[in-house]
Amino acid sequence: MERLLGKAGILLICTVALCMNGEVFAPVTSLLAAVTASSAVQLLRGKTAVVIMLLWSLSCAFFPPMLLTMPVLVCDAVREKKLWVLLPALAAMPHIGRFTGTQLLLAAATVFAALITELRLSKLENTVDLLTSMRDEGTEQNIRLTEQNARLTEAQDNAVRLATMQERNRIAREIHDNVGHMLTRSLLQAGALNIVNKDEKLKEPLESLRSTLDQAMTSIRESVHDLHDDSIDLRKVIEDSIATVGERFNVELDYSCGNDTPGNIKLCIAGVVKEGLSNAVKHSDGDRIKLILREHPGFWQLVMEDNGHPKGISSGGIGLRNMEDRARSAGGTISFTPSDKGFRIFMTIPRDKKEV
């Protein structure tokens, strides 16, 4: 906008200079030619703009009144950084005597003003471009920092989760190796005492002791299994399983399960995935597998499909029965759909109502 206003002011001064001779045709023709040429330079830019400015400058030799429009040409030449296009206008110097001293002085002052104005506007534009570039770089840097912070936070969360899992495994091993063995020994000793005991008064207390130790052993065994199951990193287990078939299949994994998935669900899903991949290796002639595992508010969903043509898969096969048993043990359902486009496994496991 500033450049447009500046050029309009310069055109106005050029009009005044052109009208000082009292002619009508020359001023109107020169102004129309200058406005048309300047507009074309503004729109076209590049080599085409340079050609237009050269013709404009050269026209001064054939139509001297065009000399008084030189301030407008100076604006465009400075903006295009092609001041040399003004040189052909020197051919009009022999005709300079037809202008009055006032016209020449006004034209020279306008050229100087145009030069100063255009240089100032160019500097301002460069400053704006620099600030815009700095702003864009700052925005990109903020985005990169945000992404890096997100990755760092995720890595820290993974480290905490891994440490928690390792500690759970350690506790489970300690309980199993120490407390479990001592309880087993105590249980055997209580049973032996009950067998060799001849005192009827001690028979009931010994039986009660054996029953209590048996309950304690069962409780510890369940706790150890729960600790171990909860320490399973389901995503890592699945990725490790995928790695085993990486040379044969290109596996696309879409995983969106939380870290609080119960241990029995993890074992079920991991088992079905391993069995499904094994079946694909044995029976599919495809080269791609899509594996989707999602956690919804009311259930878990697993979808596995390949792009091959299944051969030799029996509905009563051991692999399919194993997957059905795993799904049933977790309270879920599973279906198998062979087709010309591949083999599809679809499993859903509902959440416990207490968890929803």
**Number of neighbouring beta carbons within 10 Å of residue 234:** 20
Q: Is residue 299 part of a domain?
A: yes
SS3 string, 2-14, reads HHHHHHHHHHHHH
- Evaluate if residue 236 carries a pLDDT over 70: yes
Query: In the listed set 75, 106, 127, which residue is the last one of a domain according to the structure?
Result: 127
Buried b (16+ CB within 10 A) or exposed e, 112-143: ebbbebbeebeeeeeeeeeeeeeeeeeeeeee
- Evaluate if residue 28 carries a pLDDT over 80: no
Residues 284, 254, single domain; the answer is yes
* Confidence bin at 22 (pLDDT 50/70/90): low
What is the mean pLDDT of the segment spanning 222-241? 71
- Evaluate if residue 63 carries a pLDDT over 60: yes
- Evaluate if residue 166 carries a pLDDT over 80: no
- pLDDT of 185: 75
Q: Is residue 144 part of a domain?
A: no
Q: Is residue 140 part of a domain?
A: no
Please return the burial class of 17, using the count of CB atoms within 10 Å of its CB with bins 0-12, 13-18 and 19+.
Answer: buried
Residues 34, 82, single domain; the answer is yes
Query: In the listed set 195, 214, 230, which residue is the last one of a domain according to the structure?
Result: 230
Residues 25, 47, single domain; the answer is yes
349 token code pair: 């496991």
241 token code pair: 């399983």
Residue showing tokens 């509905």: 315
- pLDDT of 159: 61
Q: What is the pLDDT of residues 318-347, one digit of tens each?
A: 788 888 988 998 899 999 988 778 899 999
Residues 208, 165, single domain; the answer is yes
Query: In the listed set 230, 261, 291, which residue is the last one of a domain according to the structure?
Result: 230
Q: What is the pLDDT of residues 172-203, one digit of tens each?
A: 677 666 776 777 777 777 777 777 777 777 77
Q: Which domain holds residue 199?
A: 156-230
- pLDDT of 167: 67
Residue showing tokens 């309270």: 331
- What's the CA gap between 192 and 169, in Å, rounded? 33
Residues 121, 162, single domain; the answer is no
- What's the CA gap between 171 and 224, in Å, rounded? 8
- Evaluate if residue 265 carries a pLDDT over 80: yes
- pLDDT of 356: 46
| Residue 231 CB partners (closer than 8 Å, separation 6+) | 164, 165, 166, 168, 169, 172
**Number of neighbouring beta carbons within 10 Å of residue 109:** 13
Mean pLDDT for the chain? Answer: 77
What is the mean pLDDT of the segment spanning 301-312? 84
41 φ, ψ to 5°?
-65, -40
Q: What is the pLDDT of residues 138-164, one digit of tens each?
A: 888 888 888 887 777 666 656 656 666
What is the mean pLDDT of the segment spanning 61-70? 74
Q: Is 349 helix (H, G, I), strand (E, B) or coil?
A: strand
SS3 content of the chain, % helix, strand, coil (to 5): 70, 10, 15
- pLDDT of 293: 93
Q: Is residue 132 part of a domain?
A: no
Residues 42, 103, single domain; the answer is yes
In the chain, count H helices and then E strands.
10, 5
Residues 105, 166, single domain; the answer is no
Top mean pLDDT of 62-76, 225-239, 242-256 is at 242-256
* Confidence bin at 225 (pLDDT 50/70/90): low
What is the mean pLDDT of the segment spanning 219-248? 75
- pLDDT of 168: 66
Q: Is residue 266 part of a domain?
A: yes
Q: What is the bridge-based pairing of β-strands 250-256 and 288-295?
A: parallel
Q: What is the bridge-based pairing of β-strands 299-306 and 342-350?
A: antiparallel
Higher pLDDT, 183 or 241: 241
Residues 270, 206, single domain; the answer is no
* Confidence bin at 299 (pLDDT 50/70/90): very high
Task: Supply the CATH number for residue 305's domain.
Answer: 3.30.565.10
Q: Is residue 207 part of a domain?
A: yes
Top mean pLDDT of 114-118, 119-123, 231-235, 305-309 is at 305-309
Q: Is residue 145 part of a domain?
A: no
Residues 118, 21, single domain; the answer is yes
Nearest-CA neighbor of 302 among 263, 338, 343, 256? 256
**Strand partners of residue 294:** 256, 301
- pLDDT of 289: 93
- What's the CA gap between 193 and 189, in Å, rounded? 6
Overall number of domains in the chain: 3
Q: What is the pLDDT of residues 67-123, one digit of tens each?
A: 777 777 777 777 777 777 777 777 777 767 677 677 777 777 777 777 777 777 777
What is the mean pLDDT of the segment spanning 292-317? 83
- pLDDT of 305: 92
Q: Is residue 314 part of a domain?
A: yes
22 token code pair: 């009292």
166 token code pair: 């390792």
Helix (H) / strand (E) element for 95: namely: none
- pLDDT of 266: 85
Residues 59, 36, single domain; the answer is yes
Residues 215, 243, single domain; the answer is no
Residues 6, 107, single domain; the answer is yes
